[in-house]
Amino acid sequence: MDLKLSCLSPFPCLSPVCSMLKPKNFITASITPYRTRVMKDTKKHSLTPEKHELFKSMEGWVEENMLVHLKPVEKSWQPQDFLPDLSSDDCFDEICDIRAHAIDIPDDYFMCLVGGMITEEALPTYQTMFNTVDAVRDVTGMDPSPWGVWVRAWTAEENRHGDLLNKYLYLCGRVDMRQIEKTTQYLIGAGMDSNIENNPYRLFIYTSFQEKAAFTSHANVAKHATRYGDARLAKMMGAIAGDEKRHESAYAKAVEKLFELDPDTTMRELADMMRARITMPGRMMRDGADRTCMDTTRPWLNGWACTRRGITSTLSSTSSGGGSSGRWRRGCRRRGGARRIMFVGWGRG
């Protein structure tokens, strides 16, 4: 497939070098249509008025301890820092460079990248989730409370991730962008019920796991890009992983503070969430088209491709244990011959 740039610029054609770089395969992010699971008997608004006050009383702490993990816009990277400037004369050389590096990267690596991109692109779902939560939501859309400031600035930082991955995948020529765009549209349309009961204890437990999983995945994608000799892709993924690390630190600090202020409730909510399992948004992906792709795509959905590439497995993205922060510690037990995560604790080291 040739790059289709006619709608972007009046330049007549691609250079001969670039036109020789045909993608080996044309990866389609076709995830078998996945019926949206309706969560029956979902508990709602489980936060008591007394606990509501506890979160209100934490606002000073949030200001000093969470907002410091945000980066000012002027000091932040932007997707354009890693991408060709399409107004420059040598933009086609840069695009050819992206394609030349992408050509020999294995398909399953790209499947991980596509999964990461679609997950990032479903950002409206995550902001919606945050803003359904009692005591911490942004009630007006411009709420000056530290919780409101946090959710808006966090969303703005996250927004760059999907933008960058989307533009890179579009330019690299290795993927079927239309199918990917459909999958994103389906995913956002499906929404997500993460079993957090509009409860901020559960929200922060969930987000600290989720950010940890995102960091692990993007950091490993960066590592493998280096192995394949693609320095641009490695830098991109490293920058995204750096953001996820800051987010994880902020959310993990919030859970740590909750353990300090209210250990019983925090531990009860954590135990309950572990029993119900923490699931990542990617499980809802579907493209609504290819009903025959189940056998080839399900292993990816189950984390096979990511595991094979050492990126992150379903197990690690649902448990996100251990790691450099040393906050989440997990224990394993054997049950029925399978090694399963049976408990997750909180502690150092």
Binding site for Fe ion (CB under 5 A): 120, 158, 161, 211, 244, 247
At closest approach, how far in Å is the CB of 200 from Fe ion? 18
Q: How far is the CB of 63 from Fe ion (least distance, A)?
A: 20
Q: In whole angstroms, how close is the CB of 79 to Fe ion at the nearest point?
A: 12
Residue 296 CB, shortest distance to Fe ion, in Å, is 27
In the bound state with Fe ion, the residue whose beta carbon lies nearer, of 211 and 287, is: 211
CB closer to Fe ion out of 174 and 247: 247
Cβ closest to Fe ion, residue 230 vs residue 244? 244
Question: Nearest 5 degrees, angle CA 333-CA 336-CA 339?
Answer: 40
What CA–CA distance (Å, rounded) separates 215 from 245?
Answer: 6
- CA 139 – CA 62 distance, rounded (Å): 17
Query: Of the two residues 247 and 309, which places its CB atom closer to Fe ion in the complex?
Result: 247
Q: Which residues pair with 27 in a beta bridge?
A: 175
Q: Shortest gap between Cβ of 209 and Fe ion (angstroms)?
A: 12
Nearer to Fe ion, 197 or 244 (CB): 244
With respect to Fe ion, which residue has the nearer C-beta, 99 or 161? 161
CB 178 within 8 A of CB 30: no
CB 326 within 8 A of CB 349: yes
Q: Is 34 helix (H, G, I), strand (E, B) or coil?
A: coil
Nearest CA among 311, 330, 240, 319 for reference residue 280 = 319
Q: Using the minimum distance from each CB to Fe ion, give the nearer residue, 152 or 161.
A: 161
Cβ–Cβ under 8 Å, residues 227 and 257? no
Q: How far is the CB of 342 from Fe ion (least distance, A)?
A: 27
248-160-237 Cα angle (round to 5): 65
Six token digits for residue 1? 């497939």
Question: CA–CA separation, 346 vs 344, rounded Å?
Answer: 7
Contact, 254 vs 133, CB < 8 A? no
Backbone dihedral angles phi then psi of residue 207, each to the nearest 5 degrees = -70, -30
Task: Please state, in angstroms and rounded to a whole number, the distance separating the CA atoms of residues 312 and 317.
Answer: 6
Smallest gap from residue 109 Cβ to Fe ion (A): 19
